Chain A
Amino acid sequence: MNSSISRKNSTTYKIYDRYKKLIIAFLLIIFLFVLGEIIVSNFLSLGQILLTIKLASFIALFGLCQMVVIASGNSSLDLSVGYTATMTAVFTASIMDGKNENLWMAVLIAIGLGVAVGFVNGVLTSYFRLPALVVTLAMANILQGIINVYTAGRNITGKPSPILRIMAAKSTSIFPNILFILIIGATIVMIILYKTKWGLMLFGVGSNETTAYLSGVNVKLVRCIAFIIGGVIASLIGLLLIGNMGIAFKDMGSNYVLPSIAAVVIGGVSLSGGDGNYIGVILGAIFLQTLSNLLVALGWGDAGKWLGYGTLLFILLIIYVGNRRNR
Chain B
Amino acid sequence: MKKNSNALGISNLKKFILKPEFSIVIMLVIMLVIAAVLQKNFFEIKSVVRNINAYAPLILLTMGQAVVIISGGLDLSAGTSLSLLTCVLATVMKRNDPVTGIYAILITFAVAVFIGVINGIGIGYLRIPPVIASFATSFIWLGVALFLRPTPGGESVGWFKSFYNISDVAGVPVFLKTFGTFVPPALILVICGCIVWFIMSKTRTGRYIYAVGSNSDSAYMSGINTAKAQMVACIINAFFIFLAALFFVGQNQSGDARLGDPLTLRAIAAAVVGGIALSGGRGSVYFALIGALILSLVSKIIFFANIPNAYQTLVSGVIVIIAIAGSMIYTFYSKRTLLKGEKKIT
Contacts and interface: CB of A to CB of B under 8 A. Distances in A.
Same assembly: yes
Contacts of B278: 130-131, 134
A145 B318 CA distance: 9
A304 B145 CA distance: 10
Contact of B313 (A135, A145, A271, A318): A145
7 contacts: A75-B129, A140-B317, A142-B321, A261-B135, A306-B139, A313-B139, A317-B128
B31 to A, nearest CB: 21
Contact of B122 (A77, A128, A317): A317
Given A133-B74, A144-B313, A307 B147 contact: yes
Contact of A302 (B122, B146, B308): B146
Interface in B194-243: 220
A287 to B, nearest CB: 16
A286 to B, nearest CB: 20
Interface residues of B, number: 47
Interface residues of A, number: 46
B310 A149 contact: yes
A141 B313 contact: yes
Q: Which of A271, A304, A306, A307 has the most CB of B within 10 A?
A: A306
A129 to B, nearest CB: 7
A302 B143 CA distance: 8
B244 interface: no
Nearest to A307: B143
B324 interface: yes
A310 B137 contact: yes
B318 A142 contact: yes
Contacts of A138: 265, 269, 317, 320-321, 324
Contacts of A271: 129, 132
B140 A322 contact: no
Interface string B237-280: 00000000000000000000000001011001100000000100
Contacts of B143: 303-311
Contacts of A149: 310-311, 314
A307 B139 contact: yes
A163 interface: no
B142 interface: yes
Interface in B131-180: 131-133, 135-147, 150
Given A75-B129, A139-B317, 8 more contacts: A77-B132, A131-B74, A134-B265, A141-B316, A141-B317, A271-B129, A303-B146, A314-B133
